[in-house]
Amino acid sequence: MAYKVLISDPLSEEGIQPLREAGNIEVDVKTNLSADELADTIGDYDALLVRSQTKVTRDIISKASKLKIIGRAGVGVDNIDLSAATEYGVIVVNAPDGNTNSAAEHTIAMLMSLARKIPQAYAALKDGKWDRKTHVGVELKGKTIGVIGMGRIGQEVAYRAKGQRMKVIAYDPFLTKERADKLGIDYGSVEDVVIASDFITVHTPLIKETKHMINKEAFEKMKDGVRIVNCARGGIIDEDALYNAIESGKVAGAALDVFEEEPATDHRLLELPQVIATPHLGASTVEAQESVAVDVSHDVVRYLTEGVVKNPVNLPSVPKDVMNKIEPYFHLSEKLGTFLTHVTEGTAEEINISYSGELTELEVAPLTRNTIKGLLKRHLGDHVNDVNASYLAEKRGIHVNENRTSSKKGFTNLLKVEVKTKHGTRTVAGTLLNGLGARIVQVDNYSVDVVPEGYLVFISHNDRPGVIGKVGNAFAENDINIASMQVGRSDVGGNAMMIISVDKHLEKEQLDQLNQITEINNVVAIEL
């Protein structure tokens, strides 16, 4: 059977060579198609390859009657409607490894240029000024660099920084002491990193948890004269706070490849002589652009000929009869994972997922992946999905165990998730109630009945008279309405917990107020 592949964005000839060498694949290169032209054309093709220029919308996907796979020659898939692709049974693949080296090299280039004021010196020389005194720099040797985010690129940057004889301290939500020791680096919290570092470079995805991670409060904790590098995503650093920190002298300089709004040709940070910048060039090398095209071309060939892929982005098609049986549990499994990631302290080392009751009769592998996705998504964002969740957990040294048991424990079905860290073990279990939907029915050793939706507040406290009243008063003072409350205790006067459903998310100030109640040990705001 012959397959037709459409390439709608410019790709190197070397990059698409795997497609041309496949004997049963016909390749058409048609760049600069309008949305209407692509919609009219796409129905003839089995595969579509794009970079960032082509917008693969729901309308286009709905008209792609033969389309089996979309390949993105790069990492980001913002230009592809993933929901529509999944709905229509189209798998999406990308090339997450192809630009790793280029991005890491660009970070080091920006780091060294920042330290030695190379762009400023060059600009002065072009302007006819031979000015050596103004452009005295600093050495990297012996300095501490803080790496926030230790994924592929962060690890490569750390490796290269060590080659410059720098000390490396890193933060990553999945970085354990054992892994840090293996990499030969120190590790700690974000606060530990910003306090200790002479240079700070960020390599995290831009998600709710990382937006403005480097903010006014973080700058205040940094060393005087710290230098900042961002070659990851605009928005990780609060740009207004950065501007003020440079103006005050707290930050000696910043090297930026990305901005919150791009193109950033008229940004006030560019007016500061301490700032050097490039127009989002992290992956802009001949090698990277060729590599991502090669990687995605191989994946397209592999999928069309063998039905398997290396770098899936969305959930591949599941047989309809299987999906009908497991679909009701998808929501529950992800919410259990999300709940645990909020209440668990420390880095996950082991995840145990147990199925009982009627769940033992079903194909549960997709539910396991979905649970892991819920556990990882808070820190990894949309990068993690049902398909790659297990892979990402394995890459971070997290052991996942799947168990089935005949013990129903009073429920027709029960999904129990246990996470082990250096600090201990946390457990949550959930079920589906006929006609009532998903429920959390157990947290650690406490029996509860909680709908896993909306805004929850998890409170660990000592069992004392008046605690519930104090909590209620604190909520009332902040105009926060309580929808429901679950209370459990281990024994009279011992440890106890509350799970409260509220109408809006609690801010830091409100959490701090609750933590000031003597009997309360910990408060966590959860959004499900």
Active site residues: 233, 262, 280
| CA distances in angstroms from 363 to 293, 318, 359, 371, 500, listed in the order given | 35, 11, 8, 14, 33
User: In angstroms, rounded to a whole number, what is the distance separating the alpha carbons of residues 144 and 70?
Assistant: 42
291 Cα distance to chain centroid: 23
User: In angstroms, rounded to a whole number, what is the distance separating the alpha carbons of residues 281 and 485?
Assistant: 51
Given a contact cutoff of 8 angstroms between Cβ atoms, the answer to whether 2 and 25 are in contact is: yes
Helix (H), strand (E) at residue 36: helix 35-41
Tokens of 307: 């039905």
User: In angstroms, rounded to a whole number, what is the distance separating the alpha carbons of residues 327 and 243?
Assistant: 48
User: In angstroms, rounded to a whole number, what is the distance separating the alpha carbons of residues 146 and 324?
Assistant: 48
Tokens of 387: 């398909």
Given a contact cutoff of 8 angstroms between Cβ atoms, the answer to whether 94 and 296 are in contact is: yes
Residue 284's identity, in one-letter code, is S
User: In angstroms, rounded to a whole number, what is the distance separating the alpha carbons of residues 231 and 76?
Assistant: 15
DSSP readout, 257-283? Answer: S--SSSS-TT-GGGGSTTEEE-SS-TT
User: In angstroms, rounded to a whole number, what is the distance separating the alpha carbons of residues 258 and 264?
Assistant: 9
User: In angstroms, rounded to a whole number, what is the distance separating the alpha carbons of residues 324 and 472?
Assistant: 42
User: In angstroms, rounded to a whole number, what is the distance separating the alpha carbons of residues 290 and 312?
Assistant: 19
Beta strands 275-277; 226-230: pairing state: unpaired
User: 177-184, long-range: CB within 8 Å, 24+ apart, which pairs?
Assistant: 177/422, 178/397, 179/396, 179/397, 183/150, 183/155, 183/158, 183/159
User: In angstroms, rounded to a whole number, what is the distance separating the alpha carbons of residues 479 and 456?
Assistant: 16
DSSP readout, 435-496? Answer: TTEEEEEEETTEEEEE---SEEEEEEEE--TTHHHHHHHHHHHTT--EEEEEEEESSTTSEE
| CA distances in angstroms from 87 to 93, 188, 297, 315, listed in the order given | 15, 41, 23, 10
DSSP readout, 217-273? Answer: HHHHHSPTTEEEEE-S-TTSB-HHHHHHHHHHTSEEEEEES--SSSS-TT-GGGGST
Closest CA to 16 of 409, 294, 279, 240: 294
Per the listing, tokens 């109408």 go with 503
